[in-house]
Structure 1
Amino acid sequence: MAPPVPPRGVYAPVVAFFHEDETLDLEALKAHVTRLAKSGVAGLVIQGSNGEAPHLLHSERQAVIATALETLKQYGKPGSVIIAGCGAQSTRETLQLCREAQEAGAHYALVLSPSYWVGAMQQPTIKKFFNDVAAESPIPVLIYNFPGVTSGIDIDSDMIADLAATNPGKIVGCKLTCGNLGKLHRVAHDKRIVGPFAAFAGKSDFFLHGLVGGSNGVIAAAANLVPKVHVKLLELYDQGKLAEAQELQTYLSEADWVLVRLGVSGLKGALDKYYGYGGGRSRRPLGSVQASAFDGEKGDVLKRIVEYENSL
């Protein structure tokens, strides 16, 4: 049985892998999850923004969740947490995705704000959406705030706190990819929220800053590439070794900047170059990024941090 909120730690938002004909490459997924399972991450996010959720059929989403969960069990990590992206443009489909995620073995649902007909997505509409989802979802919900993929919709700290206070045990956390550290700090310490609540930083480049603000850890794309480095930074912070944590954060921020500029396909291209699986393919209209894209200065930045990862 899953704990009331996702345990504190590092979570990798797992990328989706495809063959050249754009069918799912589940063997590459197994190889990837196997490496993550051995790295010390607290869990996985399946079908987050890096998982190309909008490009997957419902049946494919379930297949990815089930495959990841089975791989975790095979490698002695049966207690690892699975957070499944369940956001959709309607309340009805969002709830269907929540039910299907539970059936496939997920423990929590990560839900973006709807953004279709963005002018209609005023605060009362968004608030009702999350209240309705929380009331009917069979698994607890984390609010996912990422203006970059929701037509600029940015859920503020008051709304997050109000939703959590209204739905104790049902809305149990948030992922803030907006990069607003003041918001993360306010939510993490808001006294309106009774009971446990997990506020996660949403990118590697403010992982340490989020910990200082009271985050529950990080859900970060670069954790696909260097999960042990993220776990090491958390250990250094918990041990009070702030100067060492700052140095490691600098390396993470530099690597994250390289990956962000190349997008979801770039992250997969990096996995292909440095770990030899998956390729840099996404489903169209997203393009592909070859391993050769990491030659030169970009490659130097990533090579340094991958070498450190492999030393841990």
Structure 2
Amino acid sequence: MPISKPPFGVYTPLVTFFNEDESIDVVATKQHAKRMAEGGVAGLVLQGSNGEAPHLDHGERAQIIRTIRSHLNELRFTKVKLIVGCGAASVRETLTLISEARQAGADYALVLPPAYWAAAMTPAVVENFFNAVAAEAELPFLIYNFPAVTSGIDISSDAIIRLAKANPGKIVGCKLTCGNLGKLQRVWSSLPEDEFAAFAGKSDFMLPGLVAGSNGVIAALANIVPATHVKLIQLWNEGKLQEARQLQSRLSNADGALQKVGVAGVKAVVSRYFGYGRGIGRRPLGNTSIDAMSKDVLGPLEDIIRLEEKYARQSGKL
């Protein structure tokens, strides 16, 4: 059976919940995965930037994947895909992480470019890295372009297109957190849409991303309001552009607020408004709570959470 790209839709880059002692909070993890699936997401992205991937060891990574896959299957959300972050500083370690992710139940991998020796990571070296991973990877994978966490390394549209064409069925998509919609448009227009998924990587350009050819969205804000993101896709599919623009405006305001509170802040919002988990990050990220957030931050978030409650009621999930 030929390997296909990830299905079109909303993907939540799942946060990793911790207990007070920084161990994995399995109960909150399962509750969170359940709420995302009930919100209508097409998939979950585990162990990405929001999942604090650099803070997890190999055993914890496998535990999280197995726990979520098993729980979703028990709930009959078998079609929800798992994309797992597997980027590392070497080809060897990246391949090991991909192999372990496959064994634990992942459908796809997500791979950052290596960035430890940033000065040595020329465009040619980065391209060679992805070709080498594709040659041996046990899972199809997406290229993850996020210059803010890779010492400024920004993979060009030309490189993404070359890599996808050279590795069909292995490199099946990209996540563009860089926010470059021109890059997204060029990639989408140069590769077969049924074989390659180019994703916008933030809520604040979700609708412009759809216009440019995004395969949906991979967005941190979906940790809080998954059904609202699904609603925007519904409006787009129905051609209701004015309604979609209004909803995009509210998502953009909420996303801008969320970016001010960091990963632990995302978890604190989930804890306060949805009743599970804690605003705990592994050190040095530290902890936070709703009480530490200003009204300027909470206002846009509470606005979008009210919408989420409305859409969840409409779908019978509240």
Alignment of 1:32-47 (within 5 A): 32-47=32-47
What is the aligned residue count? 311
Q: What TM-score do you get using the length of structure 2 for normalisation?
A: 0.95
- Over 3 Å counting, the alpha-carbon distance change for 1:16 and 1:194 in structure 2 is closer
Q: Which residue pairs with 1:102 in the alignment?
A: 102
SS in 1 for 2:114: coil
Letter in 2 for 1:303: E
Q: Deviations over 1:222-243 (max 9, x none)?
A: 0010000000000000100000
Report the RMSD for the aligned CA atoms in angstroms: 1.3
In the alignment, the residues of structure 1 paired with residue 54 and residue 23 of structure 2 have an alpha-carbon distance, to the nearest angstrom, of: 15
Q: Work out the CA distance in 2 between the residues paired with 1:293 and 1:268.
A: 13
Q: Match of 1:123?
A: 123
Per the alignment, residue 214 of structure 1 pairs with 213
The change in CA–CA distance for 1:303 and 1:139 in structure 2 (over 3 A counts) is same
Judged with a 3 Å threshold, the aligned counterparts in structure 2 of structure 1 residues 36 and 195 are, in CA distance, closer, same or farther, namely closer
**Residues in 2 aligned to 1:308 and 1:277: alpha-carbon distance in whole angstroms:** 20
Structure 1 outlier segments of 4+, above 6 Å: none
CA–CA distance in structure 2, aligned partners of residues 190 and 308 of structure 1: 37
What is the aligned partner in structure 1 of residue 308 from structure 2?
309
Check the 8 A contact 1:207/1:249 in 2, yes or no: yes
Q: Is structure 2 residue 86 aligned with structure 1 residue 92?
A: no
1:1-312 correspondence runs (5 A) = 4-191=4-191, 196-294=195-293, 296-312=295-311
Contact 2:172 2:196 in 1 (8 A): yes
In the alignment, the residues of structure 1 paired with residue 233 and residue 293 of structure 2 have an alpha-carbon distance, to the nearest angstrom, of 27
Instruction: Give, in whole Å, the separation in 2 of the partners of 1:2 and 1:221.
Output: 30
Deviations 1:60-95 (A, max 9, x none): 000011111112112221121100000011111000
Tell me the distance in 2 between the aligned counterparts of 1:303 and 1:194: 36
Measure how far apart 1:136 and its partner are.
0.5
Distance 1:134 1:254 in 2: 38
1:297, distance to aligned residue in structure 2 (A)? 2.8
For residue 265 of structure 1, give the secondary structure of its aligned residue in structure 2: helix
Supply the distance in 2 between the matched residues of 1:102 and 1:113 (Cα, whole angstroms): 20
The separation in 2 between residues aligned to 1:162 and 1:31, in whole angstroms, is 40
Three-state SS of the structure 2 residue aligned to 1:189 is: helix
- What is the letter of the counterpart of residue 290 of structure 1? S
- Shift, 1:291, TM fit: 2.0
2:220 is matched by which residue type in structure 1?
A: A
Q: Does the CA contact (< 8 Å) of 1:37 and 1:75 recur in 2?
A: no
Aligned-partner Cα distance in 1 for 2:113–2:297: 33
Secondary structure at the aligned position of 1:51 is classed as coil
CA displacement 1:137-182 (0-9 Å, x = unmatched): 1110100000000000000000000000000111000000000000
Q: Which residue number in structure 1 is paired with residue 314 of structure 2?
A: none
Q: Secondary structure at the match of 1:35?
A: helix
Q: Could you tell me which runs of 5 or more consecutive residues in structure 2 were left unpaired when the two chains were aligned.
A: 312-318
CA contact (8 A) 1:168 1:195 kept: no
CA distance in 2 between counterparts of 1:67 and 1:166 reads 34
- One-letter amino acid of the structure 1 residue matched with residue 28 of structure 2: A
The change in CA–CA distance for 1:293 and 1:2 in structure 2 (over 3 A counts) is farther
What's the offset of the Cα at 1:294? 3.9
Q: Percent identity?
A: 56
Offset of 1:303 from its aligned partner? 1.0
The answer to whether the Cα contact below 8 Å between 2:5 and 2:194 also exists between their aligned partners in 1 is: no
Letter in 1 for 2:240: K
Residue 276 of structure 1 aligns with an amino acid whose one-letter code is: G
> 1:289: how far off?
1.3
